[in-house]
Amino acid sequence: MKLLILASLCGAALAGAVAMSLDSGDPLSIGPVGAGVLLGSMLGLAIGAAGAAWQARLLARGSRFALNAFVLTFLVKLVVVCAGTLVLHALDLAWVDWRAYLVSFPFGALWITAFVVLSNVRALRHRSA
């Protein structure tokens, strides 16, 4: 779990750095594209971290439903990225770019998923040994 916390913090820091470097003259301000990047990546990281906690709990109890939790977390991510894109595009907010949200959400989701798989493999090896 420590690896997942560290990976989440590194992903959040990377998303913040990218968001601050986009479409802004002032290095400490965030424009609409940066806000979309930050919103998408943070939401992807948050959903991935929640799914990771659920999977870790199932694996600790020895449940055989950990793969079901992984698939359900993926489906939740898919619904959230589609719904978020539709809402942001329909509302056409001036402070957030929906295209940046759509591009950055998979980054956050896949970033944390790689570490979730690594953590789950470690847990299964430790349990079987």
pLDDT average, residue stretch 78-99:
92
**Residue 126 — very low, low, confident or very high, per pLDDT cuts 50/70/90?**
confident
Q: What is the pLDDT of residues 9-57, one digit of tens each?
A: 999 999 998 888 887 667 677 888 999 999 999 999 999 999 999 998 8
CB atoms within 10 A of CB 111: 21
Closest CA to 105 of 11, 1, 10: 11
Q: Environment class of residue 74 by beta-carbon count within 10 Å: exposed (0-12), middle (13-18) or buried (19+)?
A: middle
Closest CA to 59 of 49, 69, 50: 69
**Residue 124 — very low, low, confident or very high, per pLDDT cuts 50/70/90?**
confident
pLDDT average, residue stretch 90-110:
92
Closest CA to 113 of 55, 29, 35: 55
How far is 122 from 12, CA to CA, in rounded Å?
24
Token pair belonging to 82? 């589609």
Judged against a pLDDT cut of 90, whether residue 84 lies above it is answered with yes
How far is 66 from 4, CA to CA, in rounded Å?
17
Write down the mean pLDDT value for the chain.
89
pLDDT number for residue 48: 92
pLDDT number for residue 24: 64
